[in-house]
């Protein structure tokens, strides 16, 4: 059985959605990052990085969203969560990598400043910068990264689950989603998918 370690409000929502879209048999283990459960010995034994997501498979434990999302797509090919064409697959990986290495990091500067600095004045400076950097990231996505209606065009992929997840952070970063009409339409379109609704209902339960 596949088991995803997930924290609500985190980037692990993307593989949660991908698993549901794939029709996979899986189990969810919810942990609280606010309570520091990701740093407890039992979890660190599973994932020494002390972060979510972590995906337990019959081959071992996977970490990092880009890798986990690619694995889900390849493990459940009938769901067509990644393009078959090598060039298009690489483009999808590039998009997901941008979300992981640039957009997520810009967001994290507002909440995890201690990863990069020690002084409270530095943390405050980073927090002030977040609306600017997040808006710049999403402007780039708005202007040239959405083929439409989904990230890669006509096919819903893991890119869409990931973008939906990070788009949901904009309000907390003091960025108005409405500034980006294409991204907003994508967010609403994704939220309307049955698999996404099922996942989000778990959060409300």
State residue 107's pLDDT score: 94
Q: How crowded is the C-beta side of 168, counted as CA atoms within 13 Å?
A: 18
pLDDT in tens, 143-168: 999 999 999 999 999 999 999 999 99
Please check whether residues 122 and 27 belong to one and the same domain. Answer: no
Please check whether residues 158 and 91 belong to one and the same domain. Answer: yes
CATH at residue 22: 3.40.30.10
Low pLDDT (below 70) residues in the chain = 110, 113, 116-118, 205
List strand residue ranges (DSSP E) for 109-199, in order: none
Please check whether residues 93 and 182 belong to one and the same domain. Answer: yes
State residue 24's pLDDT score: 98
Q: How many domains does the chain have?
A: 2
Other C-beta atoms within 10 Å of 136: how many?
13
Please check whether residues 49 and 140 belong to one and the same domain. Answer: no
CATH at residue 153: 1.20.1050.10
For residues 59 and 7, what is the distance between their CA atoms, to the nearest angstrom?
A: 23
Model confidence, pTM: 0.95
Please check whether residues 184 and 106 belong to one and the same domain. Answer: yes
For residues 24 and 51, what is the distance between their CA atoms, to the nearest angstrom?
A: 23
Containing structural domain, residue 18: 2-79+198-204
């Amino acid at each position: 059985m596949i088991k995803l370690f997930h924290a609500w409000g985190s980037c692990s929502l993307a593989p949660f959605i991908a698993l549901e879209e794939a029709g996979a048999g899986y189990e969810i283990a919810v942990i609280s990052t606010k309570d520091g459960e990701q740093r407890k010995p039992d979890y660190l034994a599973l994932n020494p990085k002390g972060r979510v997501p972590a995906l337990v498979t019959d081959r071992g434990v996977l970490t990092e969203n880009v890798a986990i999302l690619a694995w889900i797509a390849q493990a459940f090919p009938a769901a067509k969560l990644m393009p078959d064409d090598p060039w298009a697959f690489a483009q999808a990986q590039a998009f997901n990598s941008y979300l992981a290495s640039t957009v997520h990091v810009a967001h994290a500067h507002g909440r995890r400043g201690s990863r990069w600095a020690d002084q409270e004045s530095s943390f405050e400076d980073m927090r002030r910068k977040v609306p600017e950097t997040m808006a710049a990231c999403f402007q780039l996505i708005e202007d040239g990264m959405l083929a439409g209606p989904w990230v890669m065009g006509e096919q819903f992929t893991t890119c869409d689950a990931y973008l939906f997840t990070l788009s949901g952070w904009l309000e907390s970063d003091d960025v108005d989603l409405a500034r980006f009409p294409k991204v907003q339409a994508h967010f609403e379109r994704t939220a309307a998918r049955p698999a996404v609704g099922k996942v989000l209902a778990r959060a409300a339960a």
